[in-house]
Amino acid sequence: MERYNIKNIEKKWQDYWSKKKTNAVEVDKDKKKFYCLEMFPYPSGKIHMGHVRNYTIGDVLARYKKLKGFNVLHPMGWDSFGLPAENAARENNLHPKEWTKKNIETMKKQLKSLGLSIDWDREISTCDPEYYKHQQEFFLELYEKNLVYKKDTYVNWDPAEQTVLANEQVINGRGWRSGVMVERKKLSQWFFNIKKFSQNLLDELEKLKNWPEKVKLMQKNWIGKSYGCEINFKIFEENKFDKIKVFTTRPDTIFGASFIALSVDHPIAKNFERNKNFLAFKSECSKMGTTEEALANAEKIGFNTDLFAIHPLDKKIKLPIYIANFVLMDYGTGAIFGCPAHDQRDLDFAYKYKLKVLPVVRPKNIEVDKFTIKNEAFTEDGILFNSNFLDNLTVNQAIQKIINVITEKKLGNQKITFRLKDWGVSRQRYWGCPIPIVYNNKGDAIPIKKKDLPVLLPEDVDLNVKGNPLEKHTTWKYTTLSSGEKVIRETDTLDTFVDSSWYFVRFCSPKNEKYGYKLSDIKYWMPVDQYIGGVEHAILHLLYSRFFMRALAFNNKQFNYIEPFKSLFTQGMVCHETYKNEKNQWLYPNEVEKNSDGNLVTKKDKKRVVLGSPEAMSKSRKNIVDPEEMINIYGADSIRWFMLSDSPPERDVQWSLEGVSAAHKFIQKLWKLNSEILNKNKENSPFKSEDIELKKAVNKTIYNVTKNLDNFQYNVVVANIHEIYNLFYDHVINNKTSNNTLKNEWEKVTMLLMPLAPHLACECYEKINKKFYWPKYDPKLLDEENCIIVVQVDGRKRGTLEMPKNSKEAKIIEKSKEIDNVIKHIESSSIIKNIYIKNKLVNFITKK
RNA sequence: GCCCUCGUGGUGAAAUCGGUAGACACAAAGGACUUAAAAUCCUUGCCCAUUAGGGAGUGCCAGUUCGAGUCUGGCCGAGGGCACCA
């Protein structure tokens, strides 16, 4: 028998696919399209198991849809701008461009070795000027549409490195490289106006029927719509300051207000910039750290302005005005009224500064005189009191009434607020897409003319300077417009999330030079029919992509593809056991082995190894396995098979050598059985009941595999294949079936293998030499003539009965009562009721 | 703190509409083959029983139902998201 030589065979088919361009596609209006996309990788060096899983899942779908006759677009590219390239450049003295190029070459080769059905002619790379020049053009278009603007915001500033840090570069409030305390520094930066689409982004979420509910909920919470009202408070020292507008979702608690709090960045706070105490307070606030967690746990502190606001509904009440660290300028109006009895933060603040705590809502079942506020604010529903005309109303009734009153008296208005913030896209980095803006000597921003694009990223930079290398690159930074005007370039580059917000559009016309896309191409291919990736991108990447489509479609009569991803699938992570040595240091899996007692020891010096819980594979825990090494040992089909076999795709899977070796054995078994069946002679022997049994089983398998592929239940597909293999094996070993039936039916099984193990399937199918197809099942054959009826007594199974389908109820009851074990359980009691479910079950209810 | 999801053998998991729980695998134990090992194949799988069979059983406690892994309420546990959002 021929041995299945993995290396040669897998190489052979990969070369064949590549040479014949079997995966290259073009627009074909006569065919139904299917756009299958997996999130494109960052070229960090080598592929990891997470990639293997992601791309295997996508490839199964792409190949399956192709067999079903769809025109399948299945492209791949590189998210190739980003910080790691700059860090690697410094460490290895290699230019980011070279480092990136090298990594792409390696990873492309690795992806090809997985046997993915990618149309490599459509490969794109976001750091390629051919890609980012279109992005710069889009930026200018958004600028024209007023969807881009500049404003001052805070960044993490590392004073030692003289550079801006990303949030993940701040560890315990210190710069990751310098170890120096990070400061909050104000910089003028570019923003995309994503808030403009808040309501639409929220509304359209509901229409995304094939998105996981979890992801939709996360986006919904992120957008964070809340209903409330704005109320104007006049300031007692009226001549000095304007009124204060506050936002609240609990206007019903207005009579419990005891202070006003403003954000440090509130316009009124600016008037205290010369006050030493205020400056001290402000610097205290900026030292508190920039991470959200640090902010949330920080103590509530305030600065007393000695100003007072007048209660809008009772002029006798004067409320002290504080500037407080817990009020955010970029939510609501940057000002609140504090009602300590019904808000925990306000209560903490009130106790610290000895402010009044007046409860105005009591729980329904507690009387007014028995209700007091101690250390916990009462935030639930209840009945209003101490509240003038709101007394005795419920919270919701009171909210309605107070909004009406405030509106009538022109003291404020109903207001809907979103938590979603505008998208800051400026990055003070080298390795990113240059922002196509220059500044004249007055500091005005001037957009570059479209005909002058692209603004190329200079290659001769010194990455070892402190701060942003572009800012130090004087010959690039200072330039002259075609008009002769001397200008300074914007030295910020775009957030890499911008690159990935439209790459799926570019895949439709990857070589179109004139513009980012060709209209006829996207009209055919968009939207992405199935998008597959990790749940870690549930919010930002997906929301930004949804925004970008809206921004492109805004004021654009031709482009109306609002939702980019019709269906979304989020796959689980790849986990592995963790190992530590006696010194509590992590060990790689290939440093560990089992000794003869079955205990884990180090390979090197046979020292004890402590086994830890399985965790998501990560370099820091060293619980990683190199896909390339695994493919070399077991072959791509085995790796793919294992990735699909154990857990459902949406759940985490645990990598194990036992698992992958089992997959490998099964691939070999399939090949062996295939050879045996193909080597059998053709013969026309009579059709026996075993032939029918096999035919029916294959038919059922086609039905199940098709159904389970449609539902992403790939682990069950694997089980279906195992089952049908086991049946074939039994038939072959025991010579149960005629050779013709074996051959005919096996052919269909090899087609079912194609999406999962394409190399093996092609090799098996090669000798049959017919066109690939997706086998159809015969619904008539699914119907069994007989069915097995479960016989229960008092809800407990006491036997089964095989009967022709649709037998008469009376007949089944009669036969059921003849089963020995049933007789045993009914003879000492009387039957008071029969339950009969057609073709399924009989249940006798007895009474002693 | 708020919101969401999930709890099924030693392990990963199956289980249309409420209708035979544990398909399919991994691991383990026993056996066959073998000089031996590997590989391969077979059997077993919680409790009682020699077998036939019976019992318990899908995190825990209740409920609905002839019948609950599946539906309802409460509790416990694990994971994830958000986090001064007024």
Using the C1' atom of nucleotide B4, identify the protein residue whose alpha carbon is closest.
A214
A453 vs A114, residue with greater confidence: A114
Q: Which residue has the tokens 């092609």?
A: A762
The interface predicted TM-score (ipTM) is 0.94
In three-state secondary structure terms, A39 is coil
Nearest nucleotide to A295, CA against C1' atoms: B84
The region of weakest confidence among A38-42, A242-246, A778-782 is A778-782
The Å distance, CA of A677 to C1' of B80, is 49
- Pair A468, A491: CB distance under 8 Å: yes
The Å distance, CA of A4 to C1' of B41, is 21
pLDDT digits (tens, 9 = 90+) for A170-196: 776 777 777 788 887 888 999 999 999
The Å distance, CA of A714 to C1' of B77, is 29
What is the predicted pLDDT for the residue at A97?
96
Average pLDDT value for residue range A756-773: 88
- Pair A732, A673: CB distance under 8 Å: yes
Nearest nucleotide to A329, CA against C1' atoms: B85
Rounded CA-CA distance A28/A101 in Å is 33
Residue A293: is its pLDDT beyond 70? Answer: no
Q: From A116, A4, A108, A43, select the one nearest A636 (Cα to Cα).
A: A116
Confidence of residue A567 (pLDDT cuts 50, 70, 90): very high
Q: What share of chain A has pLDDT > 70, as a percent? A: 97
CB-CB neighbours of A797 under 10 Å: 12
pLDDT digits (tens, 9 = 90+) for A687-742: 788 888 899 999 999 999 999 999 999 999 999 999 999 999 989 888 888 889 99
Rounded CA-CA distance A816/A823 in Å is 9
Nearest nucleotide to A720, CA against C1' atoms: B24
The Å distance, CA of A657 to C1' of B23, is 24
The Å distance, CA of A795 to C1' of B46, is 22
Confidence of residue A294 (pLDDT cuts 50, 70, 90): low
Residue A289: is its pLDDT beyond 60? Answer: no
Confidence of residue A116 (pLDDT cuts 50, 70, 90): very high
Rounded CA-CA distance A225/A590 in Å is 50
pLDDT digits (tens, 9 = 90+) for A587-625: 999 888 877 666 788 888 888 888 888 889 988 889 999
Rounded CA-CA distance A122/A818 in Å is 69
- Pair A235, A241: CB distance under 8 Å: yes
The Å distance, CA of A592 to C1' of B9, is 29
- Pair A579, A592: CB distance under 8 Å: yes
Average pLDDT value for residue range A554-572: 92
Query: A576: which 2 tokens?
Result: 């592995």
Using the C1' atom of nucleotide B41, identify the protein residue whose alpha carbon is closest.
A733
> What value does the mean pLDDT of chain A take?
90
Nearest nucleotide to A419, CA against C1' atoms: B85
What's the helix, strand, coil split of chain A in %, to 5?
40, 20, 40
Residue A399: is its pLDDT beyond 80? Answer: yes
The Å distance, CA of A733 to C1' of B68, is 42
- Pair A636, A759: CB distance under 8 Å: yes
- Pair A579, A611: CB distance under 8 Å: yes
Helix locations, A342-383, DSSP H = 344-352
What one-character DSSP code corresponds to residue A390? G
Nearest nucleotide to A333, CA against C1' atoms: B86
Helix locations, A259-387, DSSP H = 276-287, 292-297, 344-352
Nearest nucleotide to A572, CA against C1' atoms: B80
pLDDT digits (tens, 9 = 90+) for A154-169: 888 888 877 787 776 7
Nucleotides of B under 7 A from a protein CB: 3-5, 11-15, 19-21, 23-27, 39-41, 53-55, 66-68, 80-86
The Å distance, CA of A646 to C1' of B51, is 37
A254: amino acid identity, one letter: I
The Å distance, CA of A728 to C1' of B45, is 26
Global confidence as pTM? 0.93
CB-CB neighbours of A291 under 10 Å: 16
Nearest nucleotide to A337, CA against C1' atoms: B86
